[in-house]
Structure 1
Amino acid sequence: MSLVLDSAAQDLLFREARTANSFSDEPVTEEQVQAIYDLVKYGPTAFNGTPLRITLVRSAEARERLVQHLAEGNQAKTLAAPLVAILSADNEFHEELPRLLPHFPQAKDLFFAERPAREQSSLVNASLQAAYFIVGVRAAGLAAGPMTGADFAGIQKEFLDDDHTPIMVVNIGKPGEDAWFPRSPRLSIDEVITTV
């Protein structure tokens, strides 16, 4: 075995983990959300930038507003999930860099003075953080259902502002009955890795 992480943890985080399509009614607590964030905040990003912003959708009223912007196939499971998170990229993340990158305070102005550079970095790094978030949800013994089938312009207008770009919606909770579709295939190592 070439991995340090034990086999049970590998199964929990990757091999046995699946995208849930149904959920039990067991709630996701604030303590679980805190534990997930306290773990995943250490995931690496460029410039230690932390552009991911998480909007938790708990109320029935907010859930109804959200599902109007989701693809039809995502609506019922989102209404039934114990917790839903809108993950977005903060395009003004650079304002935090002097505090988060104290040994390189000029990074804020040197690399991110122009909005297009900020938006590109924000999207890439928030997407990295979104992946860490999903693995963190799995580490908490919960299932995550990430979705990109949505009207993101509508979600932005409904829940965010012009400085935050939504990147995905994630259903979170304990899996319910018949939660899993059959496992889809993955590409082989030869199809993905090239050595030069």
Structure 2
Amino acid sequence: MAEKLSDAALDTIFRTARTYNGYTDQPVSEAELHAIWDLMKWGPTSANQLPARLVWCVSDEAKEKLAACSSAQNAPKILKAPVSVVIGMDQDFHDHLPEFFPHVDARPWFADPQARTVSAMRNSTLQGAYFIIAARALGLDTGPMSGFDNAKVDAAFFADTPNVRSNFITTLGHGDPATIFERLPRPAFEKFNTIA
């Protein structure tokens, strides 16, 4: 049985963690990128689908390509971040189920392409959330965003893999406290929850 995390750990992951619009000059190493993946990959997905496909934009060229697909507000954030990441989704994730879900042939469960796309979106979004939690747990900060043109991102980064589509993007680095907004409110349990 798992033990409860300390309040300090919960603060790091949730309560005091923030979304950053800018970062310090401290670099992010390739080893840290691997460490994020090596944590986030353990997060649960339906039938262990693991549909997320990540593009780590580390070079100026890659960040410029991603910024060109993004809104005027988000482009500068992408360019200035040490790393920007495309969280993509493999709509043919079922091809990998014999490896990742080997105890039964689950591929027929996802024969319908439309249902498969919905499942890829749902589970890659989960994996994107695990990405954020893993980054925070490892002492890094993120700036997830939706302000971009999916079709342009897909053409720029997934042209050779037409079964993969972009879900969302995020920046990654050591957050600059001067770039965060005032803490926004969160609802009390009673506002949006029902115990049936």
Give me the TM-score of the superposition, normalised by structure 1.
Answer: 0.94
Q: Deviations over 1:98-157 (max 9, x none)?
A: 11111112x112x11121121111010000010000110101101100000111111111
Number of residue pairs the alignment of both structures matches: 192
Deviation at 1:37, TM superposition (A): 1.1
Residue 132 of structure 2: aligned partner: 134
Q: CA RMSD in A?
A: 1.2
SS of 1:72's equivalent in the other structure is coil
Alignment of structure 1 residues 5-24 onto 2, 5 Å:
5-24=5-24
Give structure 1 stretches of 5+ with no counterpart: none
Distance 1:168 1:139 in 2: 21
Deviation at 1:185, TM superposition (A): 1.0
**Among 152, 155, 158, which residue is 1:154 paired with?**
152
Residue 67 of structure 2: aligned partner: 67
SS of 2:114's equivalent in the other structure is helix
Distance 1:132 1:104 in 2: 26
Residue 34 of structure 1: aligned partner: 34
Residue 82 of structure 1: aligned partner: 82
Distance 1:164 1:100 in 2: 18
Residue 120 of structure 2: aligned partner: 122
Distance 2:90 2:13 in 1: 27
Deviation at 1:170, TM superposition (A): 0.7
SS of 1:18's equivalent in the other structure is coil
Aligned residue identity for 1:79 = L
Give me the TM-score of the superposition, normalised by structure 2.
Answer: 0.94
Q: Deviations over 1:22-73 (max 9, x none)?
A: 1011111111111111111111111011000100111111211111111111
Give structure 2 stretches of 5+ with no counterpart: none
Distance 1:31 1:18 in 2: 23
Decide which moves more: 5-14 or 153-162: 153-162
Residue 108 of structure 1: aligned partner: 107
